[in-house]
Chain A
Amino acid sequence: MNSKSIHPKEFASKANKDNLFKAIDYALAFESESVRHNTQTFNNNRYRAISQIEDYEELKNRARIIKENSIRNLPFLVEKLTETIEGRGGTVFYAKDKNEAVNFIKEICLSNSVKLAVKSKSITSEEIKLNETLEKENIEVVETDLAEFILQLSKEQPSHIVAPAIHRSRESISELFKENIKTEDPLETGEELTAFASKTLREKFLGADVGITGANLISAEEGTILLVESEGNIRLTTHLPAIHIAIAGIEKIIPTRKDFGVFIELLAASATGQVLTSYTNILEPPLKAPVLNLNKRSDKERKFYLILLDNGRMAMRNDPDLKEALYCIRCSACMNVCANFQTVGGHAFGGEYYTGGIGASWAVGTTGKLEEGRFAELCTGCSRCVPNCPVRIDIPRLNTVIKNRLLELESPSLQKMFFGYFGAMAKIVSKFPSLVNYFMKLNPIKVVLKNLLGVEIEREIPEFAEHTFVELYKKRNSQKHHQGKSEKEKQKVIVFADVFINYNNPTVGINAVELLENFGIHAELSDVYDDGRAALSQGMIQYAEKKAAQTTSYLKNLIDEGYDVIVIEPSVLTMLRNDYKKLLKDDKLYDVIKEKCYDLFEYLNMKIEKGDINIDLIKKNIRFTGEKIFYHGHCQLKSIGLGNEAPEFYRKLGINVEVSTQECCGMAGSFGYKKHYYKISKSLGLSLWEQIKNKFGSKEGIVILASGISCREQLKSFSEKKEKVYHPVEYLNRLISGK
């Protein structure tokens, strides 16, 4: 593929599956490097900025409540805002759809003899395809945000909601300018390109008849618009022309500007990682600033038009699931933190104008077409975005809902069923593990799997264990006599036999049981239950709900009998502690499960903290010879705040652990096995190894730890020296037993 042989616009809409696959290939070939560099810079800055907001969690709660209330009271707020703006001499137009919106703006421009419009960045204006409409009327529309200026030249769609040209390097911008602009000015360095663009645009600002902006937020009570920017183009757009047209989705309205304080801090920190961006404009248009008429018009006074766009938003408000997307303040944190987005950017993980994990809901909501949200398939459900969203939107859930609705529309593919029914399938297959493992390695079978199920041929299918966790546990128990516990002293503990540990990784389970025993905790083993994770990640919500109900009714009985439940596989634990909230639809039951199901290391750390167990018991038995240890925390575990439990436990033993900064390993359950997504997954697998090499050089004797079964598979797949990758509990037991 040649970057010029295909244009990103050709695959902007992802309604068609092939467009999604084409876009992934294109992005990986030509855009990945810039996107990764830029999103990771934003992401690192964001982490730094939020660490300086002491009450970050509380602020997010406040933001969420304000948005929830605003959406609930939306019709009232629309009315109030209209009254306020009109009371001040402005005009408000409620546009039911994009045609109404563009036609209204077109009419304003025609009746005011507008020839030149300057415009600041506004996704909402892209949603209604404003430029095309105005250009048809011979009105020149100039994008003044430099990223949008680039896109206007390249005719590309935005690849990111805050930095729409994030996919372009300086070199590619320089090339684009040179190809399209005749000038004597030098166009090489960032300074030269910026100087050229701002000089060109200054002329446009001075001559413009109308300024068009979006809005970050609008307060109904005062009719105040919040507009945040770095370049200063919004200030010129709203000051120089006497006519200001603002276009905003109705979801941008909040009750009062007193609430701006919460949002300006969250928005700047979450978007670009700053305390504030260069300009935070708080505007009550029409502005009082004198009309200059530098454009040689003779406008006597300022005019202000506010277009409030519905275009599917009221329908989203009535949709129990998609409603949550309306809380979005478009900060882009969910894109910058997303490993898949960092790899392909919004030309693949995005549609015609909305990008990233949150973009799919918006693409569906504003077009009314489910297929437009197909790029939700690139959401692995890793959930890294959830704790980083300033309004606490459950973005993976929104994407699961879209996947689910697509399944209903298009009927599930064999691939989805293959991965979604893993628990049921594993139960059967585990009766003949050797045979299945043998066949799975045969090339003809791999070809069949690829053609029939879309499984990537390069991937090794994880082996089924010869003996399941349950079998190994029973055998072990029959051979070993356990020291009984005196009833009053002991807390009953049970290890949950999830389908992944049971059928694929039983030794990890046995290691967990042994470690607990080393601390004097005798752990029983539960029956095998499919928790529904595999199905949920395919969008099979109803099946996942069924599995959740079965699993909880079993676990609830155990908890009632006084058991603490230890869950080894992170994706299962987060299912129980997080996803079950929505799957169970029974808050009381969910609270019981959430309260009593623990990560193994969380449990041990907690017991040490309480003084119930003595870490020195193990410390003196450990034979550690100073190996370099690297730990990759499981994405979902990090998102529920438990990413650091294992390294913390190691540190308590005096063992230092380097912790991965990659948000997700890229395997994400079944995602990395799917042939269309394999390359994204591979790119992330390689970058994780790159990080390990950067930390330790190519020294021998590095020990890699990962809690997630798919993280371990991923790390193993791309290890050059076939390094062994352990679950932290496995490695710890080796240190204790000296094996």
Chain B
Amino acid sequence: MKTKEELLKEFIKNAEAACANVIPVAGDVYSIKFAVQEITEGENEILVSNSGIIEQSLFEWISDDKKYLKYFDKEKLKNTRTGITPAVCGIASSGSVVIPILDDFTSYISMLVRNHIVILDGKNIVNRPRELFDEENENIFLNGSYSIITGPSATADMGPLVRGVHGPGKLHIIVTEGYDE
């Protein structure tokens, strides 16, 4: 059995190998805010969906800044370049994040923007993809719809490997190293 720290380390290594930009942060509200600000520098509008997955207090700072849009219409959804969503879980061996498909805009953000920023609780990382379907995780993964996202959208159909096709060309993962400690 791997420890949480080992899983986190492996997750970071494999997510980077899958061409995600991984930013490990302490997990307090400021470290998350700082990481987001750094990635979104120069952006005017950023869509945010939390779906109640990440502790709400960690998102409060968003209200301070008008460029973060918690409420937006479908035109914004269609035209905004950058968006933030939570992940319910990460997978160490593949460096993937699991994004739920709920009755909000979370999954839309994760597919329509060019830059997708994911916030992942570093304690929610499983070892291998198959564990998502283990009885242990029954409450989370044995029903409902999800997309397991591994790196940016990509294709080799036009010859060389190109990142950024129908989905985001950039995937940033802000992974907390344990904010409730």
Residues on A lying within 8 angstroms of B by beta carbon are: 38, 52, 144-147, 150, 163, 165, 169-171, 173, 189-191, 193-194, 197-198, 201-202, 205-206, 222, 224, 230-233, 235-236, 239, 257-262, 264-265, 274-285, 287-290, 292-294
Question: How many residue pairs at the A-B interface have CB separations less than 8 Å?
Answer: 172
- Is the C-beta of B167 less than 8 angstroms from some C-beta in chain A? yes
By the criterion CB–CB under 8 Å, are A190 and B102 in contact?
no
By the criterion CB–CB under 8 Å, are B155 and A230 in contact?
yes
| Distance (whole angstroms) from the CB of A53 to the closest CB of chain B | 9
By the criterion CB–CB under 8 Å, are B148 and A231 in contact?
no
By the criterion CB–CB under 8 Å, are B74 and A190 in contact?
no
- B residues 39-78 with Cβ under 8 Å of A? 74, 77-78
Q: Which residues on A sit within 8 Å (CB–CB) of B157?
A: 145-147, 150, 163, 165, 194, 231
By the criterion CB–CB under 8 Å, are B102 and A170 in contact?
no
Query: How far apart sit A420 and B69, CA to CA, in the bound complex (Å)?
Result: 74
Q: Which residues on A sit within 8 Å (CB–CB) of B104?
A: 289-290
Query: How far apart sit A561 and B143, CA to CA, in the bound complex (Å)?
Result: 60
- Is the C-beta of B130 less than 8 angstroms from some C-beta in chain A? yes
Query: How far apart sit A625 and B49, CA to CA, in the bound complex (Å)?
Result: 70
Q: Which residues on A sit within 8 Å (CB–CB) of B132?
A: 261
- Is the C-beta of B29 less than 8 angstroms from some C-beta in chain A? no
| Distance (whole angstroms) from the CB of B51 to the closest CB of chain A | 11
| Distance (whole angstroms) from the CB of A152 to the closest CB of chain B | 12
Beta-carbon nearest neighbor of B148 in chain A: A280
Q: Which residues on A sit within 8 Å (CB–CB) of B14?
A: 275
Q: Which residues on B sit within 8 Å (CB–CB) of A194?
A: 155, 157-158, 162, 164-165
Query: How far apart sit A187 and B178, CA to CA, in the bound complex (Å)?
Result: 47
Q: Which residues on B sit within 8 Å (CB–CB) of A293?
A: 74
By the criterion CB–CB under 8 Å, are B130 and A264 in contact?
yes
Stretch at the interface among B1-9, B30-38, B89-97, B117-125: B89-97
By the criterion CB–CB under 8 Å, are B159 and A173 in contact?
yes
Query: How far apart sit A262 and B93, CA to CA, in the bound complex (Å)?
Result: 14
| Distance (whole angstroms) from the CB of A292 to the closest CB of chain B | 5
Beta-carbon nearest neighbor of A232 in chain B: B167
- Is the C-beta of B150 less than 8 angstroms from some C-beta in chain A? yes
Q: Which residues on B sit within 8 Å (CB–CB) of A262?
A: 130
A sample of 14 cross-chain residue pairs with beta-carbon separation below 8 angstroms, ordered by A number, consists of: A147-B157, A194-B157, A236-B166, A239-B108, A276-B129, A278-B150, A278-B152, A279-B153, A280-B129, A282-B141, A283-B145, A289-B103, A290-B104, A290-B105
Query: How far apart sit A242 and B157, CA to CA, in the bound complex (Å)?
Result: 28
Q: Chain B contact residues (Cβ within 8 angstroms of A): what range?
A: 35 or more
Q: Which residues on B sit within 8 Å (CB–CB) of A275?
A: 14, 18, 93-95, 129, 150
Residues on B lying within 8 angstroms of A by beta carbon are: 14, 18, 74, 77-78, 91, 93-96, 101-105, 107-108, 110-112, 128-135, 141-162, 164-168
Q: Which residues on B sit within 8 Å (CB–CB) of A197?
A: 158
- Across the A-B interface, the 3 shortest Cβ-Cβ residue pairs: A232-B167, A170-B159, A261-B130
Query: How far apart sit A52 and B95, CA to CA, in the bound complex (Å)?
Result: 14
Q: Which residues on B sit within 8 Å (CB–CB) of A233?
A: 165-166
Query: How far apart sit A239 and B110, CA to CA, in the bound complex (Å)?
Result: 11
Beta-carbon nearest neighbor of A120 in chain B: B166
Known A-B contacts A198-B165, A198-B166, A230-B155; A277 and B150 likewise in contact (beta carbons under 8 Å): yes
With beta carbons under 8 angstroms apart, the residue of B147, B156, B162, B166 that contacts A282 is B147
With beta carbons under 8 angstroms apart, the residue of B18, B134, B143, B149 that contacts A284 is B143
Q: Which residues on B sit within 8 Å (CB–CB) of A287?
A: 101, 107, 145
By the criterion CB–CB under 8 Å, are B145 and A193 in contact?
no
With beta carbons under 8 angstroms apart, the residue of B95, B102, B156, B167 that contacts A289 is B102
Q: Which residues on A sit within 8 Å (CB–CB) of B18?
A: 275
By the criterion CB–CB under 8 Å, are B108 and A278 in contact?
no
Q: A194-B164, A276-B150 are in contact. List 15 more A-B contacts (CB 8 A).
A: A194-B158, A230-B155, A232-B166, A235-B110, A239-B107, A258-B142, A261-B130, A262-B130, A276-B96, A276-B129, A278-B167, A288-B102, A288-B145, A289-B105, A293-B74
Q: Which residues on A sit within 8 Å (CB–CB) of B155?
A: 146, 194, 230-231
| Distance (whole angstroms) from the CB of B137 to the closest CB of chain A | 10
Query: How far apart sit A54 and B154, CA to CA, in the bound complex (Å)?
Result: 27
Instruction: Report which residue of A145, A163, A280, A287 has the largest number of chain B beta carbons within 10 angstroms of its beta carbon.
Output: A280
Query: How far apart sit A199 and B179, CA to CA, in the bound complex (Å)?
Result: 40
Query: How far apart sit A169 and B156, CA to CA, in the bound complex (Å)?
Result: 11
By the criterion CB–CB under 8 Å, are B154 and A276 in contact?
no
By the criterion CB–CB under 8 Å, are A261 and B167 in contact?
no
By the criterion CB–CB under 8 Å, are B133 and A294 in contact?
no
Instruction: Report which residue of A233, A239, A259, A282 has the largest number of chain B beta carbons within 10 angstroms of its beta carbon.
Output: A282
Beta-carbon nearest neighbor of B147 in chain A: A281
By the criterion CB–CB under 8 Å, are B102 and A201 in contact?
no
